[in-house]
Chain A
Amino acid sequence: AQSVAQPEDQVNVAEGNPLTVKCTYSVSGNPYLFWYVQYPNRGLQFLLKYITGDNLVKGSYGFEAEFNKSQTSFHLKKPSALVSDSALYFCAVRDMRQAGTALIFGKGTTLSVSS
């Protein structure tokens, strides 16, 4: 069975500092991995995905994520946080071998960036 863990309910960082939001996953086969962001009263917005290739993927709003197969992790990062990055972040996974299956989401991590 597929699963995703986001070990931190909340991450606090000062504006201008680097941020990391952690995600680990479990799938039977190779994973497709995704990050989404949710602002208050808004739908989930796609940030980035890892399918294959380079372990460092770049996405929207200056975010990037690093795929680490040995640690089964896909941490979200940004070199310099903005107050406007404050939101709820979800990691999601799909098993590459299971065609058509839905994304399985983690519980989410609230990112709070202080000025």
Chain B
Amino acid sequence: DTGVSQDPRHKITKRGQNVTFRCDPISEHNRLYWYRQTLGQGPEFLTYFQNEAQLEKSRLLSDRFSAERPKGSFSTLEIQRTEQGDSAMYLCASSWALGNTGELFFGEGSRLTVL
């Protein structure tokens, strides 16, 4: 399968712990996006990369959140000092950068539960 893959699929942690999610995009894509989805809501944009450059960050991305894409391939999203409000599905998506018309291809998400 050459789609977007995310790991882990499920993570349960205690409040105050750090967690890290990984996303491997479709190999030909140079844009990579992180979204958060909570129950009853649509995906909310967090941040995106073009190659290794982080070009945009949402106000939702507090200073406890950090995302990297060091070699322009896979990306990691780290949440430090987790809070119960961080419980959500974290979605990764990728797309081509050429033009602005392309759809995003989503992974199946990483579900975070903070106890």
Tell me the A residues contacting B by CB distance below 8 Å: 4, 6, 32, 34, 36, 41-46, 49, 51, 90, 92, 94, 96, 98-108
Contacts of A92 in B (CB 8 A): 42
Q: Which residues of A contact B93 (CB under 8 A)?
A: 44
**The 10 nearest A-B residue pairs measured at CB:** A105-B42, A43-B106, A43-B108, A102-B45, A44-B106, A46-B103, A51-B101, A105-B43, A107-B42, A108-B42
Pairwise interchain contact A32-B42, C-beta atoms closer than 8 A: no
Instruction: Tell me the minimal C-beta distance from A51 to chain B in angstroms.
Output: 5
Cβ contact within 8 Å between B100 and A96: yes
CB distance from B28 to the nearest CB of A (A): 16
Contact between B100 and A32, CB atoms less than 8 A apart = yes
Asked if A99 and B100 sit within 8 Å, CB to CB, the answer is yes
Measured in the bound complex, the distance between the Cα atoms of B100 and A104 in whole Å is 14
A43–B100 touching, CB < 8 Å: no
Decide yes or no whether B97 CB sits under 8 A from chain A. yes
Residues on B lying within 8 angstroms of A by beta carbon are: 4, 31, 33, 35, 40-45, 48, 50, 55-56, 91, 93, 97, 100-101, 103-109
Contact of A43 among B40, B44, B109 (CB under 8 A): B109
Q: A46-B104, A104-B45 are in contact. List 14 more A-B contacts (CB 8 A).
A: A41-B108, A43-B4, A44-B104, A49-B101, A49-B103, A90-B42, A90-B43, A94-B100, A99-B100, A101-B56, A101-B100, A103-B104, A107-B40, A107-B41
Q: Are A100 and B43 in contact (CB under 8 A)?
A: no
Closest A residue to B31 by beta carbon equals: A100
- Specify which chain A residues have a CB less than 8 angstroms from the CB of B35 in the assembled complex: 102, 105
A94 to B95, CA, bound (A): 14
Residue in A34, A100, A104 whose CB lies within 8 Å of B97: A100
CB distance from A109 to the nearest CB of B (A): 10
CB contact between A44 and one of B31, B43, B56 (< 8 Å): that residue? B43
| Residue pair A102, B109 in contact (C-beta under 8 Å) | no
**In the complex, A101→B33 CA distance in Å?**
10
Nearest CB of chain A from residue B8's CB, rounded to whole Å: 14
Q: When the two chains form their complex, are residues B56 and A100 in contact, meaning their CB atoms are under 8 A apart?
A: yes
